[in-house]
């Protein structure tokens, strides 16, 4: 089935010249068959919860928060699943991503079957934890939370120690669930695989820094989304990323921009905040003369590689502790600003999803820091379920790009 | 506003002296601040006020919100989908409409609620107020299968103690902490005693009055507060059970989000509908009072006692130890012979929301206690609907009895 034949995709413009992207999307959509065929246990984890321990034990990581809403919400437009989530105990004021994910899982319509649930308790993601509790309880699956302590430079010493012990207990739990034992060697191997993927995404993101951006916003968004759980196949994903990088480098060498770009000098936009289900947004950016030069939705997973020398568990703990998503908002924004600067944006888009507890509550605070630090114009977007916002978003994007294009 | 509420509830002059003390408190704080004393505001009951007292500062628990007015005022910087108590506090701070919300010199927060974390950022970012965060583990449990949580929290408390000491220019010693712990434990002992009165149908004091006392205790200097409690205790002990009429109203338990001092609309609705709240599991009520933790001997590190008291007390739903929480709730409901459960959820309080189904089912399966779910903010737009629902619920409970 061609991408444009899916109900939610028929109005989207894909870059059909990128052959590897088609294969990547197939990898995304055929997760269910692959996981069943592998015979491995599937562990559901939160969108920014690191996957290295899960792959190290020989299980498959699955991010239902990213996958289920894209499959059921954005692609198949089964928005009634939100009602199932409310019946299961979630508040109707929850983030629509969470509602679709929980709705799909509690009604047994999840795209990928899940054997166990485990995610991080990090600073300020109560809604996600509650949804994990509800999903595990409803499906009678085992659940394990592990904690990332509050980020504070003065508490680093004991915070890392704490995190290492939390990781060790996670390994014990995973061993119990899968029957496989984790070893240092396996963890190092998993870290190495994950670093390869991190490097791939860093390389693709670096290509967005150049004047002729070789990849469109929609494609870049999907590449990012897939790093959340490595699409249950880190090796295959790495192989496809490499093929794609090769195709993009071809374009780069020929000074070719992605096909959707309408202007010679488009307005360079960096996207910050909550992920958005209104996928048409990515096309709109290009339709009105903009180009996406970066997105921080999954940046925390690849902003730097994990150190490979020394104690694997300590390196992993240190890397997790420094993930920008685990920091308080002001520190997080300050931590990602160097990455934003590298991408040379002309303007910033801050996205908030109504009901999310991540960006919306202090979107104005985030906006102020970004304005102070970068001095760039900022557009705030607020969305709910797919297809409910596109009219407003379209106008906002058009006016914003028009105002800021000289 | 708090004084007015006490006035309304206080029909038997039991709380007269407390009311006067509460009225005089702002003046006392202003005077103390002139002489160099500092006031520390805090949001979450997991902040050990013993450390603030040990540093020679005034702790003020910031639950003095609950009014619908300040909410829109905070919306330019804080979205409407924030926890109502948080935006109400932010609005009050902005307009200086509440003395306590505008008097503190620094704030102390835990990560126990994501919106409380946002308050840290809001206050720190917008008001340039010093903010002292406290890391609170959430995966530990009563079986202590995660001993790392104890060690981590101990270190966090020591860091907080050091930071508070630096802020007030005093090194906080073990003796200071032990003294503060002794004071706080005395207060808790008295409060525990008051909360146990409604165990009987002939109680000289209602749960709601005890809640008002608790809430006053968040604001009044703790030394003065203890004296007030002693006065109330004397009056209560003089009352004879035979002189008190038998209370045959439906006995209710409130479980859920923090009840702010001015968030009294739904409590009024319950009283007017003929319900009698006898106990609670809310963090502004009695839950954290239930555990007795002595200050360990002079040679011990008092931080250990604080860890025991705060980390292994009745778990807030932020701490993912639901079985422990459920056991304790059931025990309380059984002891207080509760007929119905009111599950009070502040709008957008995800922390409590997720446990609702579990708690509702367990209460019904174990004790045949039905539950009424109330989700509200401070807008007062749903008062009529709530009223009808509460009345129907109490009618059903009454019928069942």
Please tell me the total count of domains within chain A. 1
Distance from CA of B50 to the nearest CA of A (A): 21
ipTM: 0.90
Q: Name the burial class of residue A384, with classes exposed (0-12), middle (13-18) and buried (19+) by CB atoms within 10 angstroms of its CB.
A: middle
Domain with A79 in it: what CATH number?
Answer: 3.40.50.11890
Largest CA distance in chain A: 61
Contacts of A162 in chain B (CB under 8 A): 137, 148-149, 151-152
Nearest to residue B180, comparing CAs of B226, B112, B137?
A: B226
pLDDT band, very low/low/confident/very high, at A368 (cuts 50, 70, 90): confident
Contacts of B348 in chain A (CB under 8 A): 91, 93
Taking 70 as the threshold, does the pLDDT of residue B87 lie above it?
Answer: no
Interface test with A, best of B152, B156, B371 (most A CBs within 10 A): B152
- Residue A124 within a domain: yes
- For the stretch A251-279, pLDDT in tens is 999 999 999 888 889 999 999 988 888 89
Contacts of A125 in chain B (CB under 8 A): 114
A289: left (phi over 0), alpha (psi -120 to 50) or beta: left
Q: What residues in chain B have their Cβ under 8 A from chain A's Cβ atoms?
A: 76-79, 81-82, 111, 113-115, 117-118, 120-122, 124-126, 133, 135, 137-139, 146, 148-149, 151-152, 155-156, 159, 318, 320, 322, 347-348, 350-351, 353-354, 356-358, 375
- Say how far apart CA A165 and CA A216 lie, in whole Å: 42
| DSSP secondary structure code for residue B377 in this structure | -
Whether the Cβ atoms of residue B11 and residue B210 lie closer than 8 Å to each other? no
- Chain A segment 202-241 residues within 8 A of B by beta carbon are none
- Say how far apart CA A170 and CA A175 lie, in whole Å: 8
Nearest to B114 among A89, A158, A357 (CB): A357
B248-400 CATH fold? Rossmann fold (3.40.50)
- Chain A segment 157-176 residues within 8 A of B by beta carbon are 158-159, 161-162, 165-166, 169
* 3-state secondary structure (DSSP) of residue B36: coil
- Say how far apart CA B397 and CA B71 lie, in whole Å: 35
- Residue A248 within a domain: no
Percent of chain A with pLDDT over 90: 70
Nearest to residue B283, comparing CAs of B87, B110, B98?
A: B110
Contacts of A368 in chain B (CB under 8 A): 125
- Residue A334 within a domain: no
CATH number at B33-179: 3.40.50.11890
Taking 90 as the threshold, does the pLDDT of residue B346 lie above it?
Answer: no
Distance from CA of A295 to the nearest CA of B (A): 23
- Residue A342 within a domain: no
Minimum Cα–Cα distance from A153: chain B residue:
B159
Distance from CA of B208 to the nearest CA of A (A): 28
- Residue A100 within a domain: yes
Contacts of B111 in chain A (CB under 8 A): 123-124, 150
- Residue A373 within a domain: no
What pLDDT does B80 receive? 43
Q: Are B348 and A125 an interchain contact pair (Cβ–Cβ within 8 Å)?
A: no
| A328: contact with B, CB 8 A cutoff | yes
What pLDDT does A214 receive? 96
What pLDDT does B400 receive? 46
Task: Say whether B248-400 and B33-179 share the same fold.
Answer: yes
- Residue A42 within a domain: yes
Distance from CA of B115 to the nearest CA of A (A): 8
Contacts of A121 in chain B (CB under 8 A): 138-139, 320
Q: Are B354 and A152 an interchain contact pair (Cβ–Cβ within 8 Å)?
A: no
pTM score of the predicted model: 0.90
* 3-state secondary structure (DSSP) of residue B196: helix
* In chain B, where the domains are located: 1-32+182-240, 33-179, 248-400
- Residue A337 within a domain: no
Q: Are B111 and A355 an interchain contact pair (Cβ–Cβ within 8 Å)?
A: no
- For the stretch B347-385, pLDDT in tens is 777 778 878 888 999 999 999 999 999 988 766 677 888
Domain that holds residue A79: 38-180
Distance from CA of B400 to the nearest CA of A (A): 27
- For the stretch A295-333, pLDDT in tens is 998 999 999 999 999 999 999 999 999 999 888 877 888
What is the average pLDDT across B81-102? 62
Taking 70 as the threshold, does the pLDDT of residue A168 lie above it?
Answer: yes
| A155: contact with B, CB 8 A cutoff | yes
Count of residues making up chain A: 406
């Amino acid at each position: 089935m061609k991408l444009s034949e899916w109900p939610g995709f028929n109005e989207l413009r894909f870059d059909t010249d990128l052959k590897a992207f088609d294969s990547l999307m197939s990898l995304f959509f055929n997760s269910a068959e692959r996981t069943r065929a592998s015979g491995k246990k599937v562990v559901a984890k939160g969108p920014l919860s690191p996957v290295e321990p899960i792959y190290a034990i020989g299980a498959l990581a699955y991010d239902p928060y990213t996958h289920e809403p894209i499959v059921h919400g954005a692609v198949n437009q089964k928005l009634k699943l939100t009602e199932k989530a409310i019946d299961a105990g979630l508040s109707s004021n929850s983030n629509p991503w969470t509602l679709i994910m929980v709705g799909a899982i509690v009604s047994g319509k999840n795209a990928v079957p899940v054997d166990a649930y485990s995610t991080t308790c990090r600073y300020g993601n109560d809604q996600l934890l509650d949804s994990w509790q509800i999903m595990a309880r409803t499906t009678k699956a085992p659940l394990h939370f592990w904690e990332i302590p509050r980020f504070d430079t003065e508490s680093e010493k004991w915070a890392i120690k704490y995190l290492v012990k939390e990781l060790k207990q996670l390994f014990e739990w995973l061993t119990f669930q899968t029957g496989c034992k984790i070893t240092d060697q396996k963890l190092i191997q998993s870290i190495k695989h994950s670093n390869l993927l991190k490097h791939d995404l860093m390389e693709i993101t670096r290509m967005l820094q150049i004047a002729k951006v070789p990849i469109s916003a929609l494609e870049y968004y999907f590449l990012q989304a897939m790093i959340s759980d490595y699409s249950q196949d880190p090796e295959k994903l790495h192989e496809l990323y490499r093929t794609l990088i090769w195709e993009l480098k071809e374009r780069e060498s020929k000074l070719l921009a992605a096909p959707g770009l309408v202007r010679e000098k488009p307005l360079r936009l960096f996207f910050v905040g909550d992920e958005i289900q209104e996928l048409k947004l990515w096309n709109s950016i290009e339709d009105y003369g903009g180009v996406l030069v970066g997105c921080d939705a999954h940046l925390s997973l690849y902003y730097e590689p994990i150190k490979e020398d020394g104690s694997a568990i300590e390196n992993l703990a240190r890397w997790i502790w420094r993930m920008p998503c685990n920091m308080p908002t002001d520190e997080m924004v300050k931590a990602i600003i160097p990455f934003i600067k590298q991408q040379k944006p002309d303007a910033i888009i801050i996205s908030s999803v109504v009901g999310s507890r991540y960006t919306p509550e202090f979107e104005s605070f985030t906006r102020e820091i970004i304005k102070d630090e970068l001095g760039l114009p900022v557009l705030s977007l607020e969305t709910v379920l797919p297809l409910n916002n596109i009219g407003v978003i379209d106008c906002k994007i058009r006016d914003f790009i028009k105002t800021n294009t000289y | 506003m708090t004084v007015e509420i006490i006035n309304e509830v206080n029909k038997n002059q039991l709380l007269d002296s407390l009311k006067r003390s509460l009225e005089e408190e702002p003046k006392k704080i202003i005077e103390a601040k002139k002489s160099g004393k500092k006031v520390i505001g805090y949001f979450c009951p997991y902040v050990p006020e013993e450390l603030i007292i040990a540093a020679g500062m005034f702790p003020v628990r910031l639950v003095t919100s609950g009014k619908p007015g300040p909410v829109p005022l905070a919306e330019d910087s804080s979205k409407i989908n924030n926890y109502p108590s948080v935006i109400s506090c932010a609005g009050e701070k902005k307009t200086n409409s509440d003395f306590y919300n505008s008097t503190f010199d620094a704030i102390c927060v835990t990560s126990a609620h994501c919106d409380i974390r946002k308050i840290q950022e809001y206050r720190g970012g917008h008001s340039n107020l010093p903010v002292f965060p406290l890391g609170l583990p959430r995966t530990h449990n009563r079986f202590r299968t995660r001993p790392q949580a104890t060690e981590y929290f101990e270190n966090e408390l020591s860091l907080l103690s050091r930071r508070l000491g630096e802020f007030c220019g005093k090194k906080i010693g073990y003796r200071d902490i032990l003294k503060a712990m002794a004071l706080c434990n005395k207060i808790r002992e008295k409060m525990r005693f008051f909360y146990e009165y409604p165990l009987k149908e002939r109680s000289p004091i209602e749960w709601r009055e005890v809640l008002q006392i608790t809430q006053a205790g968040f604001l009044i200097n703790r030394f003065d507060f203890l004296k007030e409690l002693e006065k109330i205790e004397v009056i209560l002990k003089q009352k004879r059970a035979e002189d008190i009429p038998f209370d045959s109203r439906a006995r209710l338990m409130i479980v859920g989000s923090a009840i702010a001092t001015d968030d009294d609309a739904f409590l009024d609705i319950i009283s007017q509908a003929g319900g009698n709240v006898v106990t609670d599991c809310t963090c502004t009520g009695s839950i954290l009072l239930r555990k007795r933790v002595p200050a360990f001997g002079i040679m011990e590190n008092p931080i250990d006692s604080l860890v025991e008291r705060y980390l292994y007390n009745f778990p807030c739903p932020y701490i993912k130890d639901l079985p422990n929480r459920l056991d304790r709730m059931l025990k309380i409901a059984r002891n207080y012979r509760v007929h119905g459960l009111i599950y009070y959820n502040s709008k957008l309080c995800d922390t409590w929301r997720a446990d609702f189904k579990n708690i509702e089912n367990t209460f019904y399966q174990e004790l045949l206690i039905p539950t009424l779910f109330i989700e509200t903010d401070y807008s007062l737009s749903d008062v009529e609907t709530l009223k009808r629902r509460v009345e129907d619920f109490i009618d059903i409970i009454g019928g069942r009895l």
